[in-house]
Amino acid sequence: FGLKTAVGSFTRAMDIILGPEVQQFTFKYVDDLLVVSKTFDEHVSHLSLLFQALSDAGMTVNLDKTKFFQEKVKFLGHILSAQGIAADPEKTMAIRNFPTPNTVKQLRAFLGLCNYYRRFNQSYSQTIFPLTMLLHKNVRWNWSEAQQVAFDRVKQLFLDTVMLRFPDFSKRFFLQTDSSGVALGVELYQLDGEDHLVLGFASRVLRGPELLYTVTEKELLAIVFGLKKFRTILLGHRLTIRTDHYALKFLQQCRLLNDRLTRWCMFMNEFDFQIEHVKGRDNIVADVLSRFPAELGDTTLIKGPAPLVASINDYVVGLFESQDGKVLENLFRDLARYQQEDSFYCPIFNFLSGYATVLSASQNRVLSQFKLHSGILVQSELSTGSSRLVVPDQLVLPLVVDHHEVFGHFGVSKLYLVIKQNFYFRRMRRRIHQVIRGCDVCQKCKFPNRGLMGAAHPISVTAPGELVTVDYYGPLPEGRSRVSYILVVIDSFSKFVKLYPLRRAQAKISAMKVISDFAQRIPIRTILSDHGTQFSSKVWQDMMKSHGITPTYSSIRHPASNPTERVMKELSRLFRTYCGESHSRWATLLPRIESLFNNTPHLATGYSPSEILFGQRESGPLGDILQKYLPASPPKSVRVIREEVQRNLTVGAEIRRRRCS
């Protein structure tokens, strides 16, 4: 049968015969030679040099096996053309006709045949996972339905394969990655206008400890795997890595404490890359490479539009928005029916409608509070003469959840004040507390409040502008217009808040914001701040005094003595809630957060800042329905509201003083 070293000896001989000059345009595999040229004349010249080298060595060419001037050729089981590389259909036919394996040896033969063409298929590694389980040591051969399904799917993959294009090193490369629970998948491609040109696929099954990695580690491992696989192409060229795992966007900005992630990041620094996030539904190819979802059936994706880079707007729940707001509106349009179906309110509804009805003791006790208005049961507040919609038990949960989401996940007391303005239901505060206690967002983003230590001395004010407090919040991730700080200004009487985004925390800029904007809304007598260098500077003091404002300072090393800190705590909670996906989005949310503060009743005053200053109250969710169902009630004057606020502040201060003494 010949010498064992014959192939190696013949290959070394061909290297010597052809030499480096001919091998620049000639690809060889044992006795198969492939000559590639860009033009006809160049091809003739190349053939002449090749034939001369073979003639000098005394070698001949078999003309029956030779083809000249071909635009497409078969070479080593592949179809090569100017467009790219594809699998030879005649060779993949052997895979499609392969019989069901009965032994481990037959299975290894099948997988070995498939592995040769794995780079032309998008979901190979994930698909063969059930088959590879039979190759492990000490595993008994058991060809079940799962293995048969995987076997059929693998054969189906080769019905239609992708043509791999040649790289254009003048254009940017895109590496799309994904990881499932058991495999990694990557796709390397380039964009030519709207054309999506695939350069290569790669996938592999996770092994041993890799299966125990966290989701972020698996997603980063997919990137490292792709960079290693296509390193010779990507090194030294511009690269965009696209992943559906949003946390990896911050990879180049965060401080790594994990040794494994640090090693991977050091390896990645060899490449000129940037990371972009894509929606999961647009990360089709890489996702299919790492998993084989049933909804894709047996379809092999060949070409498609470039994945769209997801806007952060698609990931952040907007302030003043509720997931089920429209559903709640539809429910309240049929409010009368729900009231009549409620076991407690139905007898009261029928009694007020003139029907003979027997009422229980508890219903008789509260009957005087209710009346019918436009066919809707409402509750009348005897002290103020205002009316509130009666909410049946079936609608309480969606109502509370909706208001909780719309009003920025405020706590029990504030949400109770908001809801009781327009709605009534039994055990209101207790039921609101039950809903908020089970809120997932609140559990993640809020800190527990702890009681004050020592005797408290509440700040007492009697009119708007008597005391205004200020402080800086930041530095924050650079947002729109390159701002990094927030100047927080609060009127201690009305709790009116202004949030000014700033590029730098400077005394002059801050003083101008207070004087030219806030002081025009509310005349300021005294302004309180901490001992920061900006507020203790001569510039700040002189500008305040020149406009008749007395600067004063809170206690040293005691931030709680500055009421601004309480608002800044709420700012932190809102940013954690709504800016988790994009830390720089805070700047675009500031106007909405400011409006949220100024149109929500404050626990200390009982009114919203807008009501106290301007006599205006936001209707909130279901505003149109409330206007239709509730009878009109005379609005309170600003003077009356401020008198009530002053009494509420005095009572609240005394309660806090006694509680902490």
Q: What is the CATH number of the domain that holds 374?
A: 1.10.340.70
Residue 301: its pLDDT value, please?
32
555/602 same-domain check: yes
442-462 residue pLDDT tens:
777 776 665 545 556 677 888
602 and 503 assigned to the same domain: yes
* 451 falls within a domain: no
575 and 473 in contact (C-beta within 8 Å)? no
In a domain, 10, yes or no: yes
CA neighbor of 572 nearest in space, from 461, 471, 469, 447: 447
Q: Give the pLDDT confidence score for residue 489 in this predicted structure.
A: 95
Cα–Cα distance between 238 and 271 in angstroms, integer? 8
User: Are residues 418 and 385 in contact, defined by beta-carbon separation less than 8 angstroms?
Assistant: no
Q: Residue 35 domain-assigned? A: yes
Contact 164, 86 (CB under 8 A): yes
Quickly tell me which residue has 């507390």 as its tokens: 433
Highest mean pLDDT among 206-210, 307-311, 618-622: 206-210
| Same domain as 148, residue 186 | no
Same-domain pairing of 422 and 331: yes
- Separation CA 636–CA 540 (nearest Å): 39
Residue 517 token pair: 């904007």
Phi, psi dihedrals of residue 168, rounded to the nearest 5°: -110, 105
Percent of the chain with pLDDT over 90: 15
Q: For residue 298, is pLDDT > 80?
A: no
205 in the same domain as 261: yes
Residue 298 within a domain: no
Q: For residue 243, what are the β-bridge partners?
A: 277
Same domain? For 194 and 287 the reply is yes
Tokens of 468: 């205004």
- b vs e for 166-201, b when ≥16 Cβ sit within 10 Å of the residue's Cβ? ebeeeeebbbbbbbbebbbbbbbbbeeeeebbbbbb
Q: Both 480 and 342 in a single domain?
A: no
Q: Find out whether 405 and 323 touch, Cβ atoms under 8 Å.
A: yes
- Residue 119 DSSP symbol: G
Do 153 and 191 have their domain in common? no
HSE-CB at 94 with a 13 A cutoff on CA atoms is 13
Task: Kindly provide the residue ranges of all beta strands, DSSP E only, lying in 137-192, ordered along the sequence.
Answer: 164-165, 173-179, 183-192
Q: Is residue 50 part of a domain?
A: yes
Quote the number of domains for the chain.
Answer: 5
- Are the beta carbons of 223 and 147 closer than 8 angstroms? no
Q: Single out the residue of 623, 510, 616 nearest to residue 564, CA to CA.
A: 510
Q: Would the pLDDT of 601 be above 70?
A: yes
**Domain range for 9:** 5-69
Which one of 248, 274, 291 terminates a domain?
Answer: 291
Q: Which helix (H) or strand (E) holds 511?
A: helix 507-513
Q: Among 122, 139, 161, which residue terminates a domain?
A: 161
- Whether 386 is in a domain gets the answer yes
Q: How much is the pLDDT for 515? A: 93
pLDDT at residue 294 tops 50: no
Instruction: Write the CATH number for 636.
Output: 3.30.420.10
Quickly count: other Cβ atoms within 10 Å of residue 429's Cβ. 13
Q: How confident is the model at residue 308 (pLDDT cuts 50, 70, 90)?
A: very low
Q: Please report the DSSP string for 542-585 in residue order.
A: HHHHHTT-EEEEPPTT-GGGSTHHHHHHHHHHHHHHHSSS-GGG
Q: Would you give the DSSP letter of residue 87? A: E
Judge whether residue 339 has pLDDT over 80: yes
Nearest residue to 637 (alpha-carbon basis) of 604, 615, 660, 613: 615
Instruction: Using the CB atoms, write b or e for 461-478: b if 16+ within 10 Å.
Output: beebbbbbbbbbbbebbe
pLDDT for position 324: 55
Angle between helices 564-578 and 586-598 (to 10 degrees): 130
Same domain, 246 and 340: no
Domain assignment of residue 95, yes or no: no
Q: Are residues 148 and 286 in the same domain?
A: no
Q: How far apart are CA 512 and CA 514, in angstroms?
A: 5
Average pLDDT, the chain: 80
Report residue 309 as tokens: 């880079």
Whether residue 201 contacts residue 260, with contact meaning beta carbons closer than 8 Å, is answered with no
Looking at residues 607-625, what average pLDDT do you find?
78
Residues 38-82: tens digit of each pLDDT: 888 888 888 888 888 888 888 888 888 888 888 877 776 667 777
Residue 377's pLDDT band (cuts 50, 70, 90): confident
Q: Is beta strand 423-424 parallel, antiparallel or unpaired with respect to 72-75?
A: unpaired
Residue 326: the pLDDT is: 64
Q: d(Cα 125, Cα 182) in Å, to the nearest integer? A: 9
Same-domain check for residues 251 and 193 = yes
Lowest mean pLDDT among 191-195, 214-218, 288-292: 288-292
What pLDDT does residue 374 have? Answer: 82
Q: Tell me which of 169-173, 401-405, 429-433 is least confident.
A: 401-405
Burial (Cβ within 10 Å: 0-12, 13-18, ≥19) of residue 343: exposed
Please give the residue that has the higher pLDDT: either 494 or 456. Answer: 494
Task: State whether 236 and 382 are in the same domain.
Answer: no
Confidence of residue 335 (pLDDT cuts 50, 70, 90): confident
Secondary structure letter of residue 82 according to DSSP: S
Strand locations in 364-496 (E): 370-373, 376-380, 387-390, 423-424, 468-473, 485-491
Least confident of 165-179, 299-313, 609-623: 299-313
Residue 78 lies in a domain: no
Domain's final residue, options 376, 410, 445:
445
Find where tokens 């239709």 sit. Answer: 628
Q: Which of 119-128, 415-424, 534-543 has the highest mean pLDDT?
A: 534-543
pTM for this entry: 0.43
* 340-356 average pLDDT score: 86
Report which listed range, 209-218, 388-397, 517-526, is most confident. 517-526
